[in-house]
Structure 1
Amino acid sequence: MKILIFTMGSRGDVQPYLALGRALLDRGHEVTLSCSRDFDEMIETAGLTPAPLSIDIRALLESPEIQEALAGFTAKIRAWRQFRPLMRRLLDETWEVAREAKPDLLIYHPKSGAAQHIAEALRIPAIPTTLQPGFVETREFPQFLLPGMKLGDFANQLSHRAFGWLTYWSQAGFQKRWREQTLGLSTPYPRDFFAGYDPAGRILPRLHGYSRNIQPRPADWDAREEITGYWFSSAEQDWAAPEDLTRFLDLGPPPVYIGFGSMPSSDVERTTQAVTGALELCGRRGILATGWGGLGDLGESRDIHVLERAPHSWLFPRCSAVVHHGGAGTTHEGLRWGRPSVLCPLGVDQPYWGHRVQVLGVGPAPVPQKRLTAENLARALEEAHNPSVIDRAEALGETIRAEQGAKGAAEVIERSLA
């Protein structure tokens, strides 16, 4: 079977789909992965065929409009309107990718809004996927943009519906015209972007690529919803670490990992001073990953090692705790290796994962980056190193490592289409 996977975003939105694609490849399928540019080498290394779109996610994340959008709801609406021409261009590019790939099946991330319509135009199945529990309504908890709010059953359900309505309102206008003019579709525009599609009318599964040990399955979901576990890539325990990194690890107790991944900081200098000051206050060594600009010039210190990146599966088991922005991938990776986590979210789903870490007792309350100081991060690090927190994190890590997320998802896909 020829399978085309659509995803969109930074590395955290691409890497789990690489793992899913690899699991499907291992079962004999031909897999193409389409996402933003600059991931071709990683995709080819996994054995998949890349089909890049022209969008530069790093430049987009660093733009003033997106930086502002992370700060508030009205700014998100303004940014959405400003970037609508870009979204329209991506619809056309996505359609061209699909026509060239000629797939038998589409698998799509929620950010890939064209996939459902393209599947209808090609008369092939489309299976929706997510890395966060926020696209199927439930009475048990609110939509992930409202983490920790105690709204009650009805309001919880309403929050999910409101998100669906807002998504419909923001996309329907220009996507309706595109469906008609480019795809030649005259059928009604689907109200649920996460519904998927099947030309034979089957109810196909919706794949939830996160751990049920972090977010339990709601009792009011039906059998269509498949929580598979996170789609981890194989652990890179044989990665050749630079000599200076291994030397630093050997010279003292396990350090704290601090890195904010693909989320650029609005105030790099303040963030850098906060993390270095926190390590000094609590007397701990640290490995600081500069990523895409979350941390700045750190100078030289015998207790701090700076690197651009290293495989989390190699590095996290060698650390005492992990401090990060709270993306789904980094959250799962830290907990996978049984490490207490301190989440410093900026927005989107990151506060939600911070809330879950706190509820599970595997880390302190999240410390939002906008309010990050040396003092509050030092307090959070001390709490993360409490023996009871360490024990709970280690126990959770064992359960997560036992999950077969990507393999299980591939089995669900094959079973649903048999």
Structure 2
Amino acid sequence: MRIAIPLTGTRGDVHPVVALGIELRRRGHDVLFGAPPNLVDFVKSAGLPAQACGPDVQQLYSSPEGQQALAAGNTLRLMQLVAKQMSGYADRMNREVIEVCQGADLIVASTVTEDRASSVAEAMGVPLVSLHYFPCRANSAYPFPGALPAHWSPPAAVNRATWTVAENLRRVAFLPYLNALRAELGLRKSFASPAGVLARARVPELQIYDPALVPGLPRQWDARRPFTGFLTLDHDTRAAVGDLAGDHDGILRWIDAGSPPVFFGFGSMPIKDAAAVLRMVDEVSSLLGVRALVSAGWSDLDIAAAHAGDHVRVVGDFAHDVVFPRCLAAVHHGGIGTLFESLRAGLPTLVCSVSFDQPMWGGQVAKLGIGAHLRFTQLTAERLRQALAPLLTPESRSRVAEFAATLQTEGGAARAADRVEAAAR
């Protein structure tokens, strides 16, 4: 079977889906990825064919406008910037999605490509499967991510209302380019939301995150929205894409030479003043009497020139599952991939969210009693100290260890591949 997977976004959007592509190829299927231009080589290094699809969103985040929006924690402004970038790229992306899907027997899309992919699948008469990285369909258990403060627990009616507003805003914003695509494909205009289109077509929507993070949600959704757990890469693929290429021996020697450190890192989110963040980490870890392992992968920080006390170690990329089990706690941006890794390692986690679904995950770790949440824009040394201190206790680690035992840590890619093959049948 020929399977097309058109994607766009950051590495966090592409990384888990590569695991699914590897599993589908292992089962004998031909897989073609569409990936942002800055991630085509990443997909190819995993041994999967890939071609450019969509704009370089990471470049947008790193631009002066993107940096300003990130520094302000302004999700709406970021969404406007992404929409503006996509608007200027719309016709080209329409063509790229069509090219990726040409000749496919089945299409696998993601949260950000399912709208285009659904029209292409309709025109081709082939099945579609969509992958969701976070709850992005109407329900009464949780509001639309980012619509309300993360620490709120609104009543069901309010939660439902946020989804109605968000889905209508998305429908109005994206209908022009979607109908341009539909005209190119010879299809009639559509005025429905992407959620409505996929619901009518009974498209499977795989939730590629863990149900333990969203209690109450699984029972609201039917079998069309199964939870697979996070999709992880096998050892050989991780080596091929460079995940295991970091200085693990040096990092582990530093960890083993003293007490377990607290991990600090902010994933693929560019941070405007990395040196100021490092100074804050240095100060707070000194006040709390802990060592700090700082990942500079999220910034343009010069590791060799980074200035901090002896209790701080600044490092480049490393494999989370190699290092995290030796840490005391974790502080990061709340991207679902990093969150999965810190929780499965049993680390109490402080989420310093920037935008999109990150505040929602921060709210969840706080509500579940396995961590705490701060908006990155509200981060000060004192707030960081106050939020982190309670997470360093044996009681906190015990609670997270119990929660970690409930996570689906293996087999996510296989479960997702089973659903993809079932959709084809």
TM-score (norm 2): 0.89
Contact persistence 2:33–2:100 (CA under 8 A): no
Aligned mates of 1:318, 1:291 — CA distance in 2: 19
Alignment of 1:5-404 (within 5 A): 5-53=5-53, 55-70=55-70, 71-72=73-74, 75-76=77-78, 78-80=80-82, 82-83=84-85, 84-99=87-102, 102-112=103-113, 113-133=115-135, 135-145=136-146, 146=148, 147-180=150-183, 182-185=184-187, 187-189=188-190, 191-194=192-195, 203-216=202-215, 217-234=217-234, 239=244, 242=247, 243-293=249-299, 298-299=306-307, 301-364=309-372, 366-404=373-411
Choose between structure 1 and 2: higher helix proportion: 2
Aligned mates of 2:196, 2:321 — CA distance in 1: 33
Post-superposition offset of 1:144: 1.6
Q: Classify the secondary structure of the residue corresponding to 1:143.
A: coil
Contact persistence 1:275–1:373 (CA under 8 A): no
Contact persistence 1:37–1:55 (CA under 8 A): yes
Aligned mates of 2:95, 2:424 — CA distance in 1: 28
In structure 2, give the amino acid aligned to 1:165.
N
Name the CA shift for 1:152/1:183 in 2 (closer, same or farther; >3 Å).
same
1:89-145 deviations in Å (ceiling 9; x for gaps): 22222222223xx21111111111421121122221111110101x21111221122
Post-superposition offset of 1:294: 7.1
Aligned mates of 2:28, 2:100 — CA distance in 1: 22
1:3-40 deviations in Å (ceiling 9; x for gaps): 11122211111111011212222222222221212333
Name the CA shift for 1:384/1:87 in 2 (closer, same or farther; >3 Å).
farther
Contact persistence 2:334–2:359 (CA under 8 A): yes
CA RMSD in angstroms, aligned pairs only:
2.4
Post-superposition offset of 1:341: 0.7
Q: Classify the secondary structure of the residue corresponding to 1:189.
A: coil
Q: Which runs of 5+ in 2 are unaligned?
A: none
Aligned mates of 1:50, 1:74 — CA distance in 2: 31
Name the CA shift for 1:190/1:205 in 2 (closer, same or farther; >3 Å).
farther
Contact persistence 1:36–1:55 (CA under 8 A): yes
Contact persistence 1:363–1:384 (CA under 8 A): yes
Post-superposition offset of 1:402: 4.7
Q: Classify the secondary structure of the residue corresponding to 1:213.
A: helix
Q: Classify the secondary structure of the residue corresponding to 1:3.
A: strand
Post-superposition offset of 1:60: 1.1
Aligned mates of 1:82, 1:40 — CA distance in 2: 23
Contact persistence 1:254–1:318 (CA under 8 A): yes
Contact persistence 1:265–1:295 (CA under 8 A): no
Deviates more, 1:249-258 or 1:227-236: 227-236
1:156-178 deviations in Å (ceiling 9; x for gaps): 11211211111111100122123
Contact persistence 1:254–1:320 (CA under 8 A): yes
Contact persistence 1:345–1:369 (CA under 8 A): yes
